[in-house]
Amino acid sequence: MGRENPGITRRLVLGALMATPGVALAEAPLRSIRPEPRGGRPPAEARRPSAQEAEAIVAEAALGGRVAFAVADARTGALLEAGGAGEAMPPASVTKAITALYAVEALGPGHRFRTQLIATGPVANGRVDGDLILAGTGDPTLNTDNLAAMAARLRDVGLREVSGRFRVHGGALPYVRSIDPGQPDHVGYNPSISGLNLNFNRVHFEWRRTGGSWQVAMDARSERLRPAVTVARMRVADRRSPLYTYDDRDGVDDWTVAGPALDRDGSRWLPVRRPAEYAGEVFQVLARSYGIVLRHPEETQVAPRGTVLVEHVSDDLTAVLTDMLKWSTNITAEVVGLSASALRGGAPSSLAVSGARMSDWLRGRAGVDGARFVDHSGLGPDSRISPQDMVTALVRSGPDGLLRRMLKRVDMTDSNGRPLRDHPARVVAKTGTLNFVSGLAGYVQGPSNAVLAFAIFAADLDRRRRLSPEEMERPDGGRGWTQRARAMQQKLIERWVAVHAA
């Protein structure tokens, strides 16, 4: 069921995004500055920490590489403190906050994705005299249960037979084999993208040790169903490394996994490289359970025409983006970004082309010149934006804008990582994490109810470049580095609240 958003309109969103703050950030300093005294507070030096304190926080984290940050009054745009703020840094998933603004402006906050079953010929006496086409417009949230509901509704309209072919159409968006080709083949957060997506374009791999052999299953499971698939297959190999291998063989995603590395029982999600065929096979299985026999799905690049028999409609874009920002789903970011680019200037040929359009859009809307995006999720490590430009975008969106309402709450924590519910800093932000890259950007409100916009980026790119493909999923020292980066972010935010929003 879609979530309602009373009072949110495209006009409101555009007004918040395009509003000009009272003070521009174009001349932000590139090193830490001493905060100016606030009205009504004693200006004594003892009441305000020196600029060295922010630098000491960064030094204590011992991250190597580069750290840059900026914080401003979210209402006036007045820059309050900065360090290396003009330096272009990899934003990782912080990119998704920009993508959300880009998508809302182009598509509108109430936009919904539609997945349809289309008959190309006349329908009479429970029979389609022609083809049946499963066609998508990119819905990144479509799941197996949704397809099952579509199959049930097809039965309810009386369909029993299709004389022609069963076809699938994912051409509403360009096909992307993987978001970042530099990632390992088997990571589920790096799937393919198309106009027809299912289960975040992941297939569920499950294994069980029985006696001296392995039982494996590949399925499109949901909360209620587990339809088996053949578009992806798995073989357990007697080797220690590599952990997984992938091959495009005979029209199938052909996987192997190293047996000695498996626990006795377990499971994980693997990416799908044939998303339209995957969705088609799952629907074929589900339709059969309702007495509707379809031929094996064939992909078509021709936009379908005919009679819409059944339609599934997604939640509105505001709800989709709120979930994207909460769970940091890469496929959602890429789909909404590609959809926005297609509406603005025709179907982009690649993620890089679409990312460049988003960069141009941000330059026009927020007046920033240094941002460069290669995708919409931040998974690609070559995107760049400075803290200064990120804060400018946050200020232009506004402390009362839609983005702040969509961003996830970020808890301040104690030394053991437990949330501090009574902490004076109330933060909503987007996190971003890659190997030896960490970002955090959003809004913080202090006890005075002053709202600050901030961005913190850290990256040790030399250390990242030295990683081998085998090390990328769990690099040595990666967890500790990320923990220190997050502790640094919290300390900087606590400083800013104490100095600027107490």
DSSP strands (E only) in 147-260: 161-162, 166-169, 202-210, 213-219, 232-237, 244-249, 252-258
Q: Are strands 451-459 and 307-313 parallel, antiparallel or unpaired?
A: unpaired
Which pLDDT does position 116 carry in this prediction?
98
* Token pair of 214 as six digits: 């392995």
Reference 209, options 271, 272, 257; nearest CA is 257
Which pLDDT does position 284 carry in this prediction?
98
**Residue 292 contacts residue 151 (beta carbons within 8 Å):** yes
Which pLDDT does position 42 carry in this prediction?
33
Q: State the Cα–Cα distance between residues 194 and 206, nearest whole angstrom.
A: 25
Q: Are strands 202-210 and 213-219 parallel, antiparallel or unpaired?
A: antiparallel
* Token pair of 189 as six digits: 């957060």
Q: State the Cα–Cα distance between residues 75 and 399, nearest whole angstrom.
A: 6
Q: State the Cα–Cα distance between residues 446 and 423, nearest whole angstrom.
A: 9
* Token pair of 297 as six digits: 């799905």
* Token pair of 54 as six digits: 């922010």
Helix ranges (H only) for 140-274 are 144-156
Sign of the dihedral defined by the CA atoms of residues 265, 228, 333, 359, in that order? positive
Q: What is the 3-state secondary structure (H, E, C) of 73-119?
A: ECCCCCEEEEECCCCCECCHHHHHHHHHHHHHHHHCCCCCCEEEEEE
| The residue type at 457 | F
Reference 439, options 497, 378, 393, 352; nearest CA is 378
List Cα–Cα distances, 271 to 88, 118, 189, 199, 368, in angstroms.
31, 27, 7, 10, 35
Helix ranges (H only) for 50-164 are 52-61, 95-107, 144-156
Homologous superfamily, domain 10-109+317-466+480-500: DD-peptidase/beta-lactamase superfamily (3.40.710.10)
Q: How far is CA 475 from the centre of its chain?
A: 22
Supply the pTM of this predicted model: 0.90
Beta sheet of 166-169, edge-to-edge order: 298-299, 166-169, 132-136, 114-119, 307-313
Q: State the Cα–Cα distance between residues 144 and 115, nearest whole angstrom.
A: 13
Q: Are strands 114-119 and 307-313 parallel, antiparallel or unpaired?
A: antiparallel
Q: Round the CA-based radius of gyration of the chain to a whole number and report it.
A: 25
Q: State the Cα–Cα distance between residues 488 and 437, nearest whole angstrom.
A: 13
**Residue 408 contacts residue 428 (beta carbons within 8 Å):** yes
List Cα–Cα distances, 476 to 57, 66, 190, 262, 479, in angstroms.
24, 20, 21, 20, 8
Bridge partners (DSSP) of residue 219 are: 204, 228
Which pLDDT does position 421 carry in this prediction?
87
Q: What angle do CA 203, 204, 205 make, to 5 degrees?
A: 115
* Token pair of 419 as six digits: 């949330």
Bridge partners (DSSP) of residue 94 are: none
Which pLDDT does position 470 carry in this prediction?
82
Q: State the Cα–Cα distance between residues 302 and 154, nearest whole angstrom.
A: 23
Which pLDDT does position 51 carry in this prediction?
43
Query: What string of pLDDT tens digits covers the 502 residues of the chain?
Result: 343 333 334 443 444 444 433 333 333 332 333 333 333 333 333 334 444 599 999 999 999 999 999 999 999 999 999 999 999 999 999 999 999 999 999 999 999 999 999 999 999 999 999 999 999 999 999 999 999 999 999 999 999 999 999 999 999 999 999 999 999 999 999 999 999 999 999 999 999 999 889 999 999 999 999 999 999 999 999 999 999 999 999 999 999 999 999 988 999 999 999 999 999 999 999 999 999 999 999 999 999 999 999 999 999 999 999 999 999 999 999 999 999 999 998 999 999 999 999 999 999 999 999 999 999 999 999 999 999 999 999 999 999 999 999 999 999 999 888 999 889 999 999 999 999 999 999 999 999 999 999 999 999 999 999 998 888 889 999 999 999 999 999 999 999 999 998 8
**Residue 277 contacts residue 299 (beta carbons within 8 Å):** yes
Is the previous residue joined to 37 through a cis bond, with omega within 30 degrees of 0?
no
Annotated domain spans of the chain: 10-109+317-466+480-500, 113-314
Sign of the dihedral defined by the CA atoms of residues 332, 334, 335, 339, in that order? positive
Q: State the Cα–Cα distance between residues 301 and 39, nearest whole angstrom.
A: 63
CATH class of 113-314: alpha beta
Q: State the Cα–Cα distance between residues 51 and 45, nearest whole angstrom.
A: 11
Q: State the Cα–Cα distance between residues 289 and 285, nearest whole angstrom.
A: 7
